[in-house]
Amino acid sequence: MRLGSGLGVAVLGGAICLGGTPTSGAPGNPSVSIALPADTWRYAPGPGVEAVVKDCSACHSASYVLTQPRLTRKQWTAEVAKMRNAYGAPVPESDVATIVDYLVAQHGKE
């Protein structure tokens, strides 16, 4: 019983405190900045790299793609199709083979 009423008081105290915060303004809410590590990954030069940079950079970084597991040609083909069909990546049909060739050469596996 004692514990229960003690908690009740604590919660009530918290509510009052929160209610007062927004009107107290900026001093209670200092801005904070964080420095993220630089993302220096780039698609390596090679045949087709221009198409990859152009078509694959709108939504995620090169590091995001290149730190994924290596894929087979079949898997890369499916991956590029998924980007186009499921996520709406604006990849022209004429770039698909070039992009798959590049990805297999740079980040493929048997």
- Contacts with ligand HEC by CB under 6 A lie at 55-56, 58-60, 65, 68, 79-80, 82-83, 87-89, 91, 99, 103
Instruction: Work out how close the CB of 37 gets to ligand HEC at its nearest, in angstroms, rounded to a whole number.
Output: 20
Between CA 83 and CA 96 the distance in angstroms is: 11
Find the shortest distance in angstroms from Cβ 41 to ligand HEC: 13
Instruction: State both tokens at 54.
Output: 């152009």
Shorter beta-carbon distance to ligand HEC: residue 7 or 60: 60
Contacts of the segment 79-84: beta carbons below 8 A, 24+ positions apart:
79/103, 83/56
